[in-house]
Amino acid sequence: MSDQRAPNLSVGDYWIDRGDERVIGPKGPVRLGHKAYQVFCALADRRGRLLTKDALFETVWDGMFVSESALTTTIRELRRALDDDPRHPHYIESVYGRGYRIVATVEEVDGPIPTNGVPHVEPVQQKPTVEAGQPPRLAVAEFRDAAVQDRAPYVGATMREEILLGLSRFREIQVVDAALSVSEGSERDYRLDASFLPDAKGLKANVRLQRLGDGGIVWAETIPIDSDGLGAGVETIVRRIVGAAFPALDQDLSIGIGDAAGTLFDRYIVAKRQSIDAQDRATAEDAARQLEAIIAEKPNFALAYPPLVRLYHIDYNYTALGSSGPTERRRALDLAKAGLAADKSHVHSYTVLGFCHLYHEEYDQARSCFDHALERNPFNPERLNEVATGMTYLGDFDRARALFEQSAGIQPFADDASQEDLGRLALLEGDIDTAMEHFGKVTVASLWSQLCAAATLRHRDEKAGAKAIKRWMERVHAGWHRPIPPTDDEVFAWFRFHHPYKDDAGKPLIDLVGKALNID
């Protein structure tokens, strides 16, 4: 009968002896508790890939309910036994909020393992490679605050911990609780660091996001902090840093990959960007095929689901107007549920499922999804705007406005999408003048901002508004999914199909658009 026991392994300077269930180091056998030994074996078996906390609880603790402190205590014991510094790890790296991975070289061992210790060899620092399907790493370095210790003791440690928690909510990155240098990072790793200095009104934080592949600075900002209100203002400052750092990283990563489709994650980034930027139906449908292929290849790759759901919801990025129907909406709902099942911590999965429920008139389920999204990541301005829009459709205008303001506090500049959101909200609240002011600030009008602007203009100026409505109808006819142009009734039904208001929440807008399109 063959021996089915897992192979012995060398992990850096240490050996795992499966037969005796022990670890041998440079000085001989290492004292380890049984759980610490099991955790070390589980991490080593992953060969440098992420092992989530849930997976460790399921395997090492056999699914028993234990507190997370049991795992952190075991990791601490293991690091102490391996003489590993958690800030500059040679063996166990923390992926903040998610799990751990082995960073040392792991190899299978043939033959007997020495019991009196093994020759010590300085670990060779190799640039890590990015595993297919894994997001880039973001290392959060120590925040330097020695210059302000007299007026704000512990500000660096406090702020860093809050930012680690905030960034760990973004599933598109892996947050590492360590200070990686340029030589230690891969071409797709990043580092966030900050230094606190005295300022006229208190102190200031110089924050920067650096690309470790070449040392390039991706984003940097100086943020003034009033020392008198430091305690109350920590959350606001954290939101601002987190809310700026992630979009900068995401954009830099997208540019860096270009059109090359290498790893699964590269393919996802290319397809996601294509799904958002598509100007014609063929390009949008190609993005959908790429995303479908990624999901078929790796169903638990949760990031691929939201952009695909979006394409099916909104006429392939509005490149084939009127093409989304009940079939596409059912497919979108199935995908959204599968995406959330793949990763229940991925906040975007909650918002896209929320919109699926809206489109199916399942309003209580939609609200629940939006509440979950808000609870899990209040630092992402894009997600905040999505939840606010969802609340608008549900008729909760006060909450929607508060969320739009919260988003603006993180990302203070108002882009076209923000102006459209605020204009539509003002219109629903009956404030036509404010709505027109917001729509007037849109530089490149979307289909819906152009329609809202034309409808409100027609309400004020019949002749000018009629011309604006005519231009909008020409745009719709040019982009319709079939050669035969739609009737006015079809256009109005299409508008209603894409604006799933609960009860009478959308009545002011619906009446205004109906009147503009001469619908009784």
At 121 the pLDDT is 43
pLDDT tens readout for residues 276-316: 999 999 999 999 999 999 999 889 888 899 999 999 999 99
Can you tell me whether residue 185 is helix, strand or coil? Answer: coil
At 216 the pLDDT is 85
Task: Judge residue 176's burial from the number of C-beta atoms within 10 Å of its C-beta, 0-12 exposed, 13-18 middle, 19 or more buried.
Answer: buried
At 312 the pLDDT is 96
Closest by CA to 175, choosing from 261, 100, 281, 231, is 100
Q: Does domain 9-108 have CATH number 1.10.10.10?
A: yes
Instruction: Return the CATH number of 137-257, one of 3.40.50.11830, 3.10.450.50, 3.40.50.300, 3.30.9.90.
Output: 3.40.50.11830
What's the rounded Cα separation, in Å, for the pair 97 and 198?
32
**Can you give the three-state secondary structure of 385-420, one letter per residue?**
HHHHHHHHHHCCHHHHHHHHHHHHHHCCCCCHHHHH
Instruction: Report the percentage of the chain scoring pLDDT > 70.
Output: 87
Q: Facing residues of 94 across strands?
A: 100
* DSSP 8-state symbol, 148: G
At 127 the pLDDT is 45
Kindly list the strands in the beta sheet with 217-226, ordered across the sheet, starting from the edge strand earlier in the chain.
51-52, 99-102, 92-95, 174-176, 137-140, 190-199, 202-211, 217-226
Return the residue matching tokens 């990791």.
75
Give the chain's radius of gyration (CA, Å).
27
220: phi then psi, degrees, rounded to nearest 5: -150, 145
Answer with the residue of higher pLDDT: 115 or 16: 16
At 1 the pLDDT is 36
What's the rounded Cα separation, in Å, for the pair 233 and 237?
6
What's the rounded Cα separation, in Å, for the pair 164 and 198?
24
Residue 240 has pLDDT above 80, yes or no: no
Q: Where are the domains of the chain?
A: 9-108, 137-257
CA distances to 377, 404, 405, 441, 501 from 414, in Å: 21, 10, 11, 9, 25
Q: What is the mean pLDDT of residues 482-511?
A: 95
Instruction: Report the percentage of the chain scoring pLDDT > 90.
Output: 38
> What does 451-482 look like in DSSP terms, one character per residue?
HHHHHHHHHH-HHHHHHHHHHHHHHHHHTBSS
Count of CB atoms within 10 A of residue 228's CB?
Answer: 10
Which of 53-57, 74-78, 187-191, 433-437 is predicted most confidently?
Answer: 433-437
Answer with the residue of higher pLDDT: 510 or 56: 510
pLDDT band at 129, cuts 50/70/90? very low
- Asked if 9-108 and 137-257 have one fold, the answer is no
Answer with the residue of higher pLDDT: 371 or 52: 371
47 close to 101: Cβ distance less than 8 angstroms: no
Residue 118 has pLDDT above 60, yes or no: no
What residues contact residue 334 under an 8 Å CB cut-off, 6+ apart? none
At 331 the pLDDT is 95
pLDDT tens readout for residues 397-435: 999 999 999 888 777 667 888 899 999 999 999 999 999
- How much is the pTM? 0.70
| Average predicted confidence (pLDDT) for the chain | 84
* DSSP 8-state symbol, 92: E
At 280 the pLDDT is 94
